Structure 1
């Protein structure tokens, strides 16, 4: 048999063929530019088909639902959205709900409020006042489907179905699987109302929604700046919410805060004078609440104050969603909020405890009565101040009368202190002073109690004026807005510490209020000196402390009230002027020290029956005195 030999020529031939094939493949592959052109062509083809579908859905006579084989766009939508693929066929658009006080623009995309305009108010710089605009808010329901998809309603398109029921405007926004299967947001606006009826419900989706996966509602809003002082507005901006049993709580206004609560009835994104409040009839089982301060520094011109968010799971009933809610988007007006009988009036911070009671029972009704026939709000504040000072004047009289009595007794009390010097006589000295005051019918507390009784009124009004929307953008004298500071001079240079505490402006009403309180405290100091007992050994010098207070209080008012509502500074200025006037009238025209002295001498001459309390007090002092004497004897031994 012939032996086979390896043929090198054949090997070289195969190598050349392979080389030629590789060279041909390399030289004929598309360039990057050609690849990009091909991809662009494919994209344009898809967009063209999508536009064809959108054009068809915009025609009233054309069926909006695509069939599975109609276009590549539907195939892609079906891959992404599954049962909700029909939403890809809905054309983006918007619907307007509007009455005399509120205008809402509802977007097809997400079915949520795209714009919310409060019509009867404007911003500090006279622009339309929007609560929602330019994507500062979102409302989303995150849900899972039985085909293992997780969808966000904010990314899907709802079909708008507007209608009317009498004078009420109704808008049904439906995210459809079919005409009989959908998720619906239903809005109903009534004439001249800030409160909107809002319903979230599903129809026929029990087999579509994955009940084993948590459905979560996520509501977010970044609060626009509306007021002159963003720093002051930010201090008044906070999240309120009501828990079971009408228990009102809130997140800290001082900075970032969050909370996880259960059984929440409503949540309010409360700004200084305006709020967005979501109310649920059956409540939210749990709620994750968050407040984040966007405004950080006055040197930066911030558009927003705080960002709020609510996250809460929604529960199914027989496989369906069914939540009847209300949405309040409007002013923090106490008279408007209290008529809804949902306790949302509590978003207005009128003070806690007795301070809130005084505001709700006294100052709110009186202020509303006065504004019924007086148009100038500066005059209303002055008249309200006069009413308050007249009502409080008997307490001022009591305080001054007690001061006059203590002034008459002072020489006798000094004589007792001079006669019974030393720490060893402290108990006896105090006992004789108290006996003298009891005989004369004088009590040191009679001067303090009237002053203490005035404090609740002081703190109540401290909360009333900054919360009163009626004085917002109402001018008086040089102040163009009684709810904001009354700057008469401003500067742009940032001065460390000064700018952060005082601000970059000079307000005049706080200066006038500081001057008035200085003279008031000077007169009060003179009055207190009459009431003060001679300084005891080892006791602090009260006179020095009172002098420090006389200077400290006006300075504190001057600094901190520079950024506060000028209506509040106007009240304190007028109030202190009136108090000084009343004190001068009482001192010079009503009280007669000679008559008071004669009356006290008669009182001292009368036999005084010792009260049980006084008897127990004297016995305790005697016992303490005897113990001190025994201790001294033991030390000498």
Structure 2
């Protein structure tokens, strides 16, 4: 049997093979470890403004950068140039009134702090924070990509323009080609200049695709009363005139043209985007996020704006403004030519005109004399009641005149009873009133003239930011309800607390209406057959009106309840003075008797036509009666 001999060549070969395998394993281990470290450090480094320097094994880093750049090129196309050097981070623009934090990602504002105000719970007041807002431009590129600026990294550059802070955020294609957001903040100003411009992108941006600007905001709750804040929070915009989306609707949407500014308004604060070029085909949406006003909530409204942007010679060029601050009428009207005062809800038509022309100047004058806003409201109420006292006087004079001729009117009703004599009875009643120089309208007109004052003030007090978080007596905030007792349960339409000022106002209006009942009874002619008895209706209203006020105003601004309490109290005093010390019924009676002796004035055309119409109706009624017989 042949024995196997030791083969030295084979042994040497095995040794060489083992050595090669050991060398390969060792080399592979040396490559893997630095590559992993490099990748991890690169990701973290995006939170800084400088890139880390690696001292060992640079070859894997170059390979990693190449792969990263290739991925960016594939994803972003031409915009991969800026993305290769851009890093994550934020920049702060700040003055004494406002602090804005702008993120490199998206180049947008991610925090807007209004420094001069606090929330209802004394926390800092942010209009933007924790991703409640988004600003984005969506566009297509010539290499068939759809990009969103909110997903891309901008490169920030801080500079100065005089005393103004300037932040340029650039989304680069090259050093000379970019999309730029430019922010410029002035000292002591809530308004920030904002521009959207492109340079050299005519061959990069696809002009056949629509370029859309999207602005989205969820508004934080900042006030004590969720119900009141939600009621006064609404999306406002200005075209040729101010308009708004419904605050009460759960979801309201409108498409409008020629939009000069859009305001995402809260009760006392607002975020506004203005543009020198009006937006067209602008879609505006307001969504109510408050489902139950008794449950605490973080957000009250969700506002959305979507509008196409127009290219000029293939480039974007829009000069805009951001306003983040108080919805203060006097402050907003200082921005001339922008109509920003329309943001504040002072009422429409004549009600807003009365507030702007009368109540805002009076309130401003009084607030310049003292700092106690409760006393300012009381003094303002006194001024308003004194100005309106001539109307109360005229109403009382008309009441006294009607009281004098009332026996004659009662005699006419007794002499001409029944529906068949209704027209004749009305003619004689009007003749007696005309001879005595008494007009039914003379009593109604003063009351009607007071109605615009009532509705104007109804809008003025809840919209006045100067009353926000200002206390008086037991009310800690005159812009919100004055809770004196918290209830352990909820009463429908009333709430889960008891406010004292609405109770006082309800008591005052009860006594006012009680006193006014006799006056109204004098103003009314005796009840005629077939006609409703107004006196009975007034008796019901005496009790119904205070109850309605008690429920309605329990959750409303305590400043408004304070005004109505003081106003009704003063009106009662004025009525007592006029009744007991000004009106002389004997003198009025003598004047009426004198009027009766005078020859009747020639009838005007309107009165003549009215008398003829009543006469014809009476004749037809008589003929119909004869025909039935």
Same fold (TM over 0.5): yes
Task: Provide the aligned C-alpha RMSD in A.
Answer: 2.1
Could you tell me which of 612, 615, 628 is aligned with 1:619?
612
C-alpha spacing 1:197/1:492, structure 2 compared with 1 (3 Å): farther
Q: Deviations over 1:238-295 (max 9, x none)?
A: 000112xx22111100022011112211111011000101001011122111111111
- Cα drift, residue 44 of structure 1: 4.8
Whether the aligned pair in 2 keeps the contact of 1:142 and 1:217 (CA below 8 Å) is: yes
Within 5 Å, which residues of 2 pair with 1:96-495?
Answer: 96-243=92-239, 246-255=240-249, 256-341=251-336, 342-493=338-489, 495=490
Between the aligned partners of 1:42 and 1:217, the Cα distance in structure 2 is 44
Alignment of 1:23-102 (within 5 A): 44=36, 47-48=39-40, 50-51=42-43, 54=46, 58=50, 70-85=65-80, 86-102=82-98
- Flag the 1:633–1:514 CA change in 2: closer, same or farther, 3 A: same
Pairing 1:576–2:572 present: no
> 1:601 Cα shift?
1.1
Residue 14 (structure 1) aligns with: none
- Tell me, what secondary structure is at the counterpart of 2:531? coil
Q: Secondary structure at the match of 1:386?
A: helix
Q: Specify which of 580, 592, 603 is matched with residue 588 of structure 1.
A: 580
Find the counterpart in structure 1 of residue 13 from structure 2. none
Q: Distance in 2 between matches of 1:540 and 1:552?
A: 18
- C-alpha separation between the residues in 1 aligned to 2:434 and 2:298? 65
Deviations 1:8-38 (A, max 9, x none): xxxxxxxxxxxxxxxxxxxxxxxxxxxxxxx
Report the CA distance between 1:565 and its aligned residue. 0.5
- Tell me the CA shift for residue 209 of structure 1: 1.1
1:202-243 per-position Cα deviation (integer Å, ceiling 9, x unaligned) = 111111111111111111000000000111101100000112
SS of 2:257's partner is: strand
Q: 1:230 to 1:540 in 2, by over 3 A?
A: same
8 Å Cα contact 1:49/1:72 also seen in 2: no
Q: Is the 8 A contact 2:49 2:89 kept in 1?
A: no
- Distance in 2 (CA, whole Å) between partners of 1:57 and 1:119 is 28
542-551 or 183-192: which moved more?
542-551
C-alpha displacement of 1:60:
11
- Measured at CA, do residues 208 and 61 of structure 1 come closer, stay the same or move farther in structure 2, by a change above 3 Å? farther
Equivalence for 1:563:
555
| Displacement of 1:546 | 1.2
| 1:512 aligned residue (504, 509, 512) | 504
Q: Deviations over 1:512-546 (max 9, x none)?
A: 11111111111122111111111111111211111
SS at match of 1:205: coil
Is the 1:276–1:330 contact (alpha carbons within 8 Å) kept by the matching residues of 2?
yes
Residue 56 of structure 1 and its aligned partner are, at CA, apart by 9.5
Correspondence 1:602 to 2:598? no
Contact 1:88 1:156 in 2 (8 A): no
Please give the secondary structure, in 1, of the residue aligned with 2:270.
strand
Q: What count of residue pairs does the alignment treat as equivalent? A: 588
Find the aligned partners of 1:461 and 1:157 in 2 and give their Cα distance.
Answer: 50
Rounded Cα–Cα distance in structure 1 between residues aligned with 2:541 and 2:460: 26
Q: Whole-Å Cα distance in 2 between the matches of residues 262 and 391 of structure 1?
A: 44
Helix, strand or coil at the partner of 1:466 = helix
Aligned-residue offset at 1:71: 3.5
C-alpha change, 1:52 and 1:442, in structure 2 (3 Å) is closer
Task: State the alpha-carbon separation in 1 of the partners of residues 94 and 41 from structure 2.
Answer: 36
Cα distance in 2 for residues equivalent to 1:628 and 1:54:
95
Q: Does 1:537 align with 2:518?
A: no
The structure-2 alpha-carbon separation of the partners of 1:618 and 1:437, relative to structure 1 and needing over 3 Å to count, comes to: same
